Structure 1
Amino acid sequence: MTGLPATWRFSASAFNVTPEVIRAERTAPDLALSLVHRGIASEIEVELGQLWRGYPEATPDEARELRERLAAAGGRVSIVGVSIDEWDGRRRRSDDERLAFLEPQLRTSAALGAAGVRLPIGQAGALLERLVPLLDDLDLVLYEEAQGHQTPAAVPDAYARIAALDTPRVRLLLDISMLMPALPVTYLDELARGRIDPALVALLTDHWREPDTHAAVVDHLRSGRVPGPVHTLYMNLLVRFGRSEVADVASVLPLLGGIHMKFWDLDDTDGRITRPIRDLGTVLRTTEYAGTLCSEWGGQEWLADDPWAVTGRHLALARSALEEAAVASPKQAPSPRGDGAAPHPSPL
């Protein structure tokens, strides 16, 4: 079986152990470290706001300590999730204030030895240009993460800004939740238990990617018929769950520096987990992709599974799917446009 490129690095997100962080029987840094200690991954992503109470202020000493503990266990931090609080409690922050909020997080991330930091796509906005010199000084990459419905067609200006900067210090991170061929089986079961209209659940089960389904989801929400206990869960249909194909993101693959292999449960019925991984892996083989492939578990919102067990099993499943995709040589790889042509080289 064809091996995977050495530039593809598997990692695991410490977000996966969030239920254990909430339980607070162990510290958040200890729980992040457990992913390495248990042999699940040697590279991990961490959420800065989850690690230390001093957030967002810089915590360089604590960061260096965790970096040393990770190194001793054979691990390291790949990407750090950071944020920009747009409001100070009274008004929207100015760009100078937003930068001041973000800068200590960048310094803490550098002290952690991270390769980069992650923000939602478009959130930095005009700050991106101002951040590049600081990213150079700290030797960090800023990854703008696109997920769910945030396709190039939906937010073209955000992708265009990354392309226009044309710097290795600002890259795209693609969350595979954008490419869901079907909804998670356990999620559909949860909606049914939450008394969502059975007709809508059936539509979501059999026709997730059809435009009429999205319209039905919006109409049902506006009707006020979503029961309170599952209202937050229901919003995933509009925010976190995407319905695109690889062809919809092919034009921005030259901007790609990271991938979140988002998963919800491990039910791979009809390839709902492995198919988008294989599809993306096949197209990536036609590019010079170099970056992480991170296992990120979103199903903790409604499942009580062991986070270490599901993460390890997911990484094994994902690796197998990518190895299957690697069997086809780049020349044999299907065009992301489905017309037999090579992927379009332009970033937009």
Structure 2
Amino acid sequence: MTPGIPDNWTLCASSFNWTPEVTAARRSALDIVTGIVAERVVDTIELEPGLLWRSFPDPKDAEVDELRESVAANGGRISIMGGSLDDFTSPTNRRTTQERLDFLVPQIRAAHRVGATGIRLPIGQAGAELLGLVQPVLHDLDLVLYEEIQGQQNPHNPAIAPALDCIAGLADDHVRVLVDISMLMPALPMSYLEELSRADVPTELLKRLAEEWQDPATLDAVTVLLRSGKVPQQIHTLFMNLLIRFGRSDASDLENIFPLIGAFHLKFWDLDDADGRVSQPLHDLGSLLGRNGFAGTLTSEWGGHEWLQDDPTDMTRRHLALAASALAEGALGGATLQGDDRPRT
């Protein structure tokens, strides 16, 4: 019998993976999300409610109930729900603390109503005061608020450290960290490099991006080009991924904050595993999780639909199979595994 991931690791898929189908609107968002479990991709889904509920960020009970019942009828459940904290009502008018609380609490209650175990916000956005105010709500509903760290963010970054210190100081299992492994990129996605090569990006920079992504000087060169105004307009948003969404950390950077971590996003961009650029971070993560006794969710999240036209269901199935194998191999210290078409969830 082939070993798999530990029973207390739950593989999930994010509804974010199906963004192209949601925006195409050939089927309703409800049908698309229900289809994830109906088509036996996974049993457990992470929700991006801004793509699903017209009433978000103040979700109406009828919309929430319809989704919960439809997913449950097909044998599925919800893990974490993405949250939103819009701090400004206009470019110059910031919400008061009470207004921020009033904006967030309906989402927390919707997360509980839909059957989620947690709600997710960007790291540090809530702040200590608001976290203190929502703690009683989280305890009352037995819900976890996850603050997400991703991309170029790093636990050693002075801009991130205060938020992590705040979570550590609360010492509350209802406030945890979610790590997106876009932080752990030994090399850039092959399909992304190909996309840049089709634009008017200097050949020298393309070579550095392909061969020296982990060198801090490479990011300096990216910043210089961006400030020069010479990044082609048609790839400006795509180019910004280099400064925000693509990280250069190592799994070992997470050791010191591991007691704070409750969940992971297994971010992937494509499935071209040249030089282990997709599987190696997963293997390293599996080793970290195994050493530290992790229990929680690991969610497949596909970011590459920004430039790729592949089928979300096929991409997610294949990624989950690869992830299950690489994570288990890492956790078991190098045993060779063969992933199932459908990981245990």
TM over 0.5: yes
Gaps of 5+ in 2: 335-345
**Residue in structure 2 matched with residue 130 of structure 1 by the alignment:** 133
Q: 1:65 offset after TM fit, Å?
A: 2.0
Matched, 1:116 2:118: yes
Q: Tell me the distance in 1 between the aligned counterparts of 2:55 and 2:3.
A: 46
**Residue in structure 1 matched with residue 35 of structure 2 by the alignment:** 34
Contact conserved, 1:179 with 1:242, CA < 8 A, in 2?
yes
**Residue in structure 2 matched with residue 287 of structure 1 by the alignment:** 292
Q: Tell me the distance in 1 between the aligned counterparts of 2:225 and 2:254.
A: 29
**Residue in structure 1 matched with residue 342 of structure 2 by the alignment:** none
Deviations 1:270-301 (A, max 9, x none): 11011011101101111121111100000000
Q: Tell me the distance in 1 between the aligned counterparts of 2:328 and 2:120.
A: 27
**Residue in structure 1 matched with residue 75 of structure 2 by the alignment:** 74
Contact conserved, 2:10 with 2:298, CA < 8 A, in 1?
yes
Q: Tell me the distance in 1 between the aligned counterparts of 2:122 and 2:138.
A: 17
Q: Tell me the distance in 2 between the aligned counterparts of 1:198 and 1:33.
A: 45
**Residue in structure 2 matched with residue 144 of structure 1 by the alignment:** 147
**Residue in structure 2 matched with residue 20 of structure 1 by the alignment:** 21
**Residue in structure 2 matched with residue 332 of structure 1 by the alignment:** none
Please state whether the residue corresponding to 2:102 is helix, strand or coil: helix
CA RMSD of aligned residues (A): 1.1
Deviations 1:250-274 (A, max 9, x none): 1111111100000000000011011
Q: 1:102 offset after TM fit, Å?
A: 0.8
Q: Which amino acid aligns with 1:101?
A: F
Gaps of 5+ in 1: 330-348
TM-score by length of 1: 0.92
TM-score by length of 2: 0.93
Q: 1:326 offset after TM fit, Å?
A: 2.7
- Equivalent residue runs for 1:226-237 within 5 Å: 226-237=231-242
Q: 1:108 offset after TM fit, Å?
A: 1.1
- Equivalent residue runs for 1:295-334 within 5 Å: 295-328=300-333
Contact conserved, 2:4 with 2:325, CA < 8 A, in 1?
no
Contact conserved, 2:82 with 2:121, CA < 8 A, in 1?
yes
Of all paired residues, the percent bearing the same amino acid is 52
Contact conserved, 2:197 with 2:206, CA < 8 A, in 1?
yes
Contact conserved, 2:286 with 2:329, CA < 8 A, in 1?
no
Structure 2 counterpart of 1:165, from 157, 167, 170: 170
Contact conserved, 2:53 with 2:59, CA < 8 A, in 1?
no
Q: Tell me the distance in 2 between the aligned counterparts of 1:257 and 1:135.
A: 15
Contact conserved, 1:3 with 1:326, CA < 8 A, in 2?
no
Q: Tell me the distance in 1 between the aligned counterparts of 2:136 and 2:329.
A: 41
**Residue in structure 1 matched with residue 48 of structure 2 by the alignment:** 47
Contact conserved, 2:12 with 2:42, CA < 8 A, in 1?
yes
Contact conserved, 1:14 with 1:46, CA < 8 A, in 2?
yes
Deviations 1:51-97 (A, max 9, x none): 11111113122212211111111100100001101111251111111
Please state whether the residue corresponding to 1:286 is helix, strand or coil: helix
Deviations 1:101-136 (A, max 9, x none): 111111111110000000011111121111110111
Q: 1:138 offset after TM fit, Å?
A: 1.8
**Residue in structure 1 matched with residue 339 of structure 2 by the alignment:** none
* 4+ runs deviating over 3 angstroms: none
Q: 1:169 offset after TM fit, Å?
A: 0.3
Deviations 1:15-51 (A, max 9, x none): 0000111111111121111111111110001112111
Contact conserved, 1:42 with 1:76, CA < 8 A, in 2?
yes
Matched, 1:274 2:291: no
Deviations 1:299-330 (A, max 9, x none): 0000000000000000000011012113329x
Contact conserved, 1:35 with 1:41, CA < 8 A, in 2?
yes
Q: Tell me the distance in 2 between the aligned counterparts of 1:51 and 1:99.
A: 23
